[in-house]
Amino acid sequence: MSFSVVFDMDGVLFDTETVALKSWITVGERHGYTGIEPVAFKCVGRSTKDTIAIFQSAYPDADIPSMLTECVDEFKRIIAAEGLKLKKGVTELLSWLKENNVKTAVASSTDKHGVLSNLKKAGLESYFSVVFGGDTVENSKPDPEIYLKACAALGEAPQDCFAVEDSNNGIISAARAGMRPILVPDLVENTDEVKKLAEKQFKDLLEVREFFQSL
């Protein structure tokens, strides 16, 4: 069986969603906004533009763009101090896919520059022939645009591509694109609707590799 695989980044390849939440909480408290975590959770899997809109709606008097800049700086500070942590099974899965000539791409809501920077830091850039970020599309997840573009760039029909996702918006996006969604949960609790949309659900990427090996 021939197939291709498109990966989300945050919460799938890297344990970055935890860092993003810490960053928002720190910056929020710095500006006197406590209890910011539920709002930050709503931004998981969303683009920078959507994140600003979500926070601005929750805190209309705040200078959210300025706070976002501080949040990015705090994120970088944490990564510099603690390192960029890979999710379990990333290297094993990507190595297997490369050895078996499976085409791979990244379709992330993070801006493309940030995606490429993270991949380079982790030594993973050579595994992906196609990379799309949230700033390369008009409509962010759960809209299917980014996944449709990734499949087209790979030269594959959506139905022949798996999408590996952790977030609700990501799974919905992949399903709307006509792909085969694989759910690997991270921080955000997935809804029953999303669990039904996912073709398969696994606890980590090692299990995903086992699934691909069985095809």
Chain centroid to Cα 17, Å, comes to 9
Q: For this structure, is 135 an active site residue?
A: no
- Taking a C-beta distance cutoff of 8 angstroms, is the pair 183, 201 a contact? yes
- Taking a C-beta distance cutoff of 8 angstroms, is the pair 172, 142 a contact? yes
Number of CB atoms found within 10 A of residue 145's CB: 18
110: left (phi over 0), alpha (psi -120 to 50) or beta: beta
Question: Which residues touch 30 (CB under 8 Å, ≥6 apart)?
Answer: 70
Task: Return the structure tokens found at 114.
Answer: 């940030």
Task: Return the structure tokens found at 99.
Answer: 């050895």
How far apart CA 180 and CA 174 sit, in angstroms, is: 7
- The Cβ-side half-sphere exposure at 178, using a 13 Å CA radius, reads 10
How far apart CA 183 and CA 211 sit, in angstroms, is: 12
Q: For this structure, is 10 an active site residue?
A: yes
Residues with catalytic function: 8, 10
